[in-house]
Amino acid sequence: MPMCTEGEIRKTLSVTLGQINFGQWRTPSLRNLKYTAPYMHDGSLATLREVVDAYADIDPERIHNDGEAIIRPLSLDDRAREDLVAFLQSLSATTLP
């Protein structure tokens, strides 16, 4: 399944907002993650640390259009966030082929 552009996602939102469609998006691999910045669907986060911080600081009251909670925030202190970033970076080769 190919990755979608922001415009393609907007065109399909009217079809995919239903719960029946949850999970139908292709999730990218974590392999060589540190070489794939910027991150998130819109390229709004420049570093893996910004991604971890975004998920740790997410508003627990934020909900989908159907009223279902989107995600619970990560409960990580600064050291645990650093460890998670180090782990994610370790999934990348030292040099790309």
3-state SS class at 69:
strand
Give pLDDT, residue 18. Answer: 59
**What pLDDT, in 10s, does the model give residues 12-23?**
555 555 566 666
Closest CA to 51 of 68, 17, 28, 74: 74
Q: What is the mean pLDDT of the chain?
A: 81
Q: Where are the domains of the chain?
A: 28-90
Query: Of the ranges 1-10, 15-24, 43-52, 72-81, which one carries the lowest mean pLDDT score?
Result: 1-10
Task: Please answer whether residues 14 and 74 qualify as being in contact, where contact means their C-beta atoms are separated by less than 8 angstroms.
Answer: no
Write the burial class of residue 7 (CB in 10 Å: 0-12 exposed, 13-18 middle, 19+ buried): exposed
Question: Please, what sign has the CA dihedral across residues 90, 40, 28, 5?
Answer: negative
**What pLDDT, in 10s, does the model give residues 59-71?**
877 766 667 777 7
Closest CA to 53 of 74, 34, 22, 67: 74
Whether pLDDT at 87 is above 70: yes
